[in-house]
A and B are shown apart, each in its own frame.
Chain A
């Protein structure tokens, strides 16, 4: 086995190279992942934004952390569909017959999607600044906020791979990923402050892990968090709770994905 793992880095690098070539050849993929968030900024920032009240803050400063988080959540779909397509064209089968570290197929995929996520976040920065989003924190905190964001994206990529391997059909992956992502994004503090939700719904939204992560980002960036005086436990320590949540997600999803990969190709 040691001979397999000695090639882990070079195999992963070769596969990241493969995905980067895709990106170079079809830069439209970057447009595909940034167009929706830009729409969201316009719809939420301008249309809904006029009637949104954020406690102690401006909605335009509030919304951007949510938009960034939504981008990371949506990347589940992108990753899952790509994985399902690879399975269907037999490429994964060929990789399986090679003397390579098999997990590098998954590492290569998730790292490439991390790069795509980073590129699309950079592309969103000017859009945010244009609608009046500002950062009110030191460079260290700002950077930490973006790292947390990308960490969320990386965990979502693994989730996407898992869904892609489990469902195997691009269409099915698309629908199922939507069903998972939509409630996570919309039943949370991603797009609106939770103070006007009815009691039980507010509790659900406050305990939604996505709320924890966006609140952590807002706190790190010095943007309004929109939280009242007595929020749920994770929202009192959002940064540490986010790190724990994402770590737990990765610890659960990575082995499951690895197993799904073996299963998907050994049928």
Chain B
């Protein structure tokens, strides 16, 4: 097993505020590693350390085989970095941005041009290549920004919240590009606030909260750690949701919970099919009108809630929360009608 990124005991303090309190991780080459956590958890601080931009107060890290503090130059030759804000020159065209960065990566002028052309093509920016970047849409900028971090074909790429603020179409397009890179053997470390993003892309996930590692594992492992399957029902009104608490309590020992929307009730399923049928029977006897009745594995949202004890994840907007699977969104629309 080839380790592309490894870190041990990374710490960083700003005044009284300890942003990172000893975080370690290990990323296998050719995989996507998701770092998940709310704003201020220390994700960006960690990425900036791994990308040689920030020196840790304590701890050490190696990227692509080199120490990020003592061999920063070697590390910089082997990484690409896409930060939270598209780091591009707005007055230059897309092509000029890529050629400039390629030149600064010492590809040579000719090679930089060839590579820029390839990336513009691959990221669907050929038509916009000769327009100043300040005329680009948010999604186009992120695509160019990602392209810019790939200009020298680095074996390790850091993506710091690459899809924050992007619409669904741009986000999906970016995900495809990430998958394409991984298929080509690139190692990607990605931070995100979106559970679904980590779930979709990452082979392994580290959940960090308040500067500490809260959990680490594959998405499946994390979900299993939190508990098995859940029974979830959707109802028409918040009153009905409360009325459904009692019927659902028969499926397991933990009390059923009503989610943010006030219309969905879920409970951990411990008693198997018998519990499901008992709950269904009791619901039918009650006055609760059930719109949807599903058995499913826990969502990453529940994983996060369970692991950190708080719902710290922001969402791009209320109706389109990325941590909800598509069918749930569909039901919400039904409920609102």
- 0/1 per residue, B83-109, Cβ < 8 Å to A? 111111111100010001101111000
A93 with B53: CB separation less than 8 A: yes
B281 to chain A, nearest CB (A): 58
From A105, which residue of chain B is reached at the shortest CB distance? B104
Q: A100 to B86: give the CA distance in the assembly, Å.
A: 20
A90 with B53: CB separation less than 8 A: no
B52 within 8 A of A: yes
B157 to chain A, nearest CB (A): 11
Q: A12 to B206: give the CA distance in the assembly, Å.
A: 40
Q: A25-B132, A266-B53 are in contact. Are A94 and B92 (CB under 8 A)?
A: no
Q: A267 to B101: give the CA distance in the assembly, Å.
A: 23
B87 with A93: CB separation less than 8 A: yes
Contact residue among B55, B74, B85, B104 (Cβ-Cβ distance under 8 Å from A89): B85
Residues A41-72 near B (CB distance < 8 A): none
Q: Give the chain A neighbours of B51 by CB distance below 8 A.
A: 97
Q: A95 to B89: give the CA distance in the assembly, Å.
A: 11
Contact residue among A26, A94, A95 (Cβ-Cβ distance under 8 Å from B91): A26
Q: Give the chain B neighbours of A25 by CB distance below 8 A.
A: 91, 132
Contact residue among B54, B100, B132 (Cβ-Cβ distance under 8 Å from A17): B100
A18 within 8 A of B: yes
Contact residue among A21, A91, A100 (Cβ-Cβ distance under 8 Å from B96): A21
Q: A90-B86, A97-B79 are in contact. Are A7 and B106 (CB under 8 A)?
A: yes
A4 with B87: CB separation less than 8 A: no
A98 with B101: CB separation less than 8 A: yes
A93 with B132: CB separation less than 8 A: no
A98 with B83: CB separation less than 8 A: no
Q: Give the chain B neighbours of A14 by CB distance below 8 A.
A: 100, 103-104
Interface centre among B53, B54, B55 (most CB of A within 10 A): B53
A94 with B148: CB separation less than 8 A: yes
Residues A96-127 near B (CB distance < 8 A): 96-100
A91 with B53: CB separation less than 8 A: no
Q: A22 to B133: give the CA distance in the assembly, Å.
A: 12
Cross-chain pair count, CB within 8 angstroms? 73
Interface centre among A3, A90, A93, A97 (most CB of B within 10 A): A97
From A92, which residue of chain B is reached at the shortest CB distance? B87
A98 with B105: CB separation less than 8 A: yes
- 0/1 per residue, A4-41, Cβ < 8 Å to B? 10010011001101100110011000000000000000
Q: Give the chain B neighbours of A4 by CB distance below 8 A.
A: 73
From B105, which residue of chain A is reached at the shortest CB distance? A98
Q: A17 to B300: give the CA distance in the assembly, Å.
A: 47
From A94, which residue of chain B is reached at the shortest CB distance? B87
Contact residue among A11, A18, A97 (Cβ-Cβ distance under 8 Å from B53): A97
Q: A94 to B97: give the CA distance in the assembly, Å.
A: 12
A3 with B91: CB separation less than 8 A: no
B77 within 8 A of A: yes
Residues B122-154 near A (CB distance < 8 A): 132, 148
From B55, which residue of chain A is reached at the shortest CB distance? A266
Q: A27 to B277: give the CA distance in the assembly, Å.
A: 76
Q: A18-B100, A94-B81 are in contact. Are A99 and B86 (CB under 8 A)?
A: no
A240 within 8 A of B: no
A203 within 8 A of B: no
Contact residue among B77, B84, B89 (Cβ-Cβ distance under 8 Å from A91): B89
Q: A17-B100, A25-B132 are in contact. Are A96 and B53 (CB under 8 A)?
A: yes
Q: Give the chain B neighbours of A7 by CB distance below 8 A.
A: 106
A101 to chain B, nearest CB (A): 10
From A14, which residue of chain B is reached at the shortest CB distance? B103
B115 within 8 A of A: no
B76 within 8 A of A: yes
Q: A26 to B148: give the CA distance in the assembly, Å.
A: 24
A265 with B91: CB separation less than 8 A: no
B135 to chain A, nearest CB (A): 12
Q: A94 to B52: give the CA distance in the assembly, Å.
A: 11
A89 with B90: CB separation less than 8 A: yes
Q: Give the chain A neighbours of B90 by CB distance below 8 A.
A: 89
A191 to chain B, nearest CB (A): 34
B76 with A94: CB separation less than 8 A: no
A32 to chain B, nearest CB (A): 14
A142 to chain B, nearest CB (A): 35
Q: A266 to B48: give the CA distance in the assembly, Å.
A: 9
A267 to chain B, nearest CB (A): 8
Residues B179-202 near A (CB distance < 8 A): none
Q: Give the chain B neighbours of A96 by CB distance below 8 A.
A: 52-53
Q: Give the chain B neighbours of A90 by CB distance below 8 A.
A: 83-87
B162 to chain A, nearest CB (A): 13
Q: Give the chain A neighbours of B87 by CB distance below 8 A.
A: 89-91, 93-94
Mark A residues whose CB is within 8 Å of B: 1, 3-4, 7, 10-11, 14-15, 17-18, 21-22, 25-26, 89-91, 93-100, 265-267
- The 14 listed contacts between A and B (C-beta, < 8 Å) are A1-B73, A11-B103, A14-B100, A14-B104, A15-B104, A18-B100, A21-B91, A21-B92, A90-B83, A93-B53, A96-B53, A97-B79, A99-B77, A265-B53
Given A14-B103, A90-B83, 10 further pairs, Cβ under 8 A = A11-B103, A14-B104, A89-B87, A89-B88, A90-B84, A93-B83, A97-B79, A98-B76, A100-B105, A265-B53
**8 shortest interchain CB distances as A-B pairs:** A90-B87, A94-B87, A99-B76, A99-B77, A14-B103, A97-B81, A90-B85, A100-B104
